[in-house]
């Protein structure tokens, strides 16, 4: 039990910093007792801890704690990712414009998209940079966040809603055409071609496979 509790605390140091060591430690003990590991890899243990933490009575005044802890979980996971060789613009142009809408994009494994209702990215950045001010006013409101990680390097970028919807849909395995529709629903002036070009320029695309209308490769 002690080793599992320590593993959780090591996975959520920013959450400990935010909420307090005593509360997180006791919640970790309860989590370990009620939800012991189902897999032998301790490094993967704790994905459900943010939900469990937010349900505890002591978190009632912290409506942002679940989103904050989930963001920390993903940052820890992505920091271990390995960057794969990326496709260039010529690789996609070879597919032909008539097939692009039926293309399924594979993105870098170190990319994740988070839609939060709080200013949690700026809050966790204070912890990561060890630059907490005497006072920080956490703002509510939509935050569309792109997370990137590779070999210990982490980035958090704010995106416009349409760009976020496009990239998140592609990362979830949707076809390019469907991702473009999801983005246009949030921004009628969204340009899928330019957005795809930016994605390629950012070296986030690792594969592009054409699917037929029946959904098979």
Q: Both tokens of residue 48? A: 């459900």
- Residue with the bigger pLDDT between 95 and 130: it is 130
- pLDDT band with cut points at 50, 70 and 90 for residue 213: low
Decide: residue 110, CB within 10 A, 0-12 exposed, 13-18 middle, 19+ buried.
buried
Looking at residue 78, its pLDDT comes to: 93
- C-alpha 136/C-alpha 208 separation (Å) is 43
Q: Residue 201 contacts by C-beta under 8 Å, 6 or more apart in sequence? A: 89
Neighbouring C-alpha atoms within 13 Å toward the C-beta of 55? 8
Looking at residue 131, its pLDDT comes to: 79
Q: Residue 62 contacts by C-beta under 8 Å, 6 or more apart in sequence? A: 19, 54
| DSSP letter, residue 187 | -
Answer whether residue 214 shows pLDDT above 80.
no
Query: Measured between alpha carbons, how far is residue 21 from residues 15, 122, 198 in Å?
Result: 9, 21, 42
pLDDT tens digits for 29-40?
Answer: 999 999 988 777
């Amino acid at each position: 039990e002690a080793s599992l509790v320590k593993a959780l605390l090591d996975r959520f140091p920013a959450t400990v910093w935010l909420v307090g060591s005593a509360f997180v430690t006791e919640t970790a003990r309860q989590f370990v007792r009620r939800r012991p590991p189902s897999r032998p890899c301790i490094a993967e243990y704790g994905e459900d801890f943010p939900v469990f933490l937010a349900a505890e009575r002591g978190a009632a005044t912290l409506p942002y704690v679940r989103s904050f802890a989930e963001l920390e979980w993903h940052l820890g996971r992505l920091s271990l990712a390995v960057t794969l060789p990326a496709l260039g613009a010529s690789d996609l142009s070879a597919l032909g414009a008539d097939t692009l809408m039926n293309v399924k994009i594979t993105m870098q494994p170190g990319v994740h998209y988070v839609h939060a209702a709080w200013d949690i990215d700026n809050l966790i950045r204070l912890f990561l940079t060890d630059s907490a001010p005497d006072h920080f006013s956490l703002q509510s409101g939509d935050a569309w966040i792109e997370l990137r990680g590779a070999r210990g390097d982490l980035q958090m970028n704010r995106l416009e809603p349409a760009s976020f919807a496009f990239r998140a849909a592609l990362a979830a395995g949707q076809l390019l055409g469907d991702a473009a529709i999801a983005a246009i629903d949030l921004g009628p002036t969204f340009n899928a071609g330019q957005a795809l070009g930016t994605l390629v320029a950012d070296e986030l695309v690792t594969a592009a496979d054409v699917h037929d209308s029946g959904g098979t490769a």
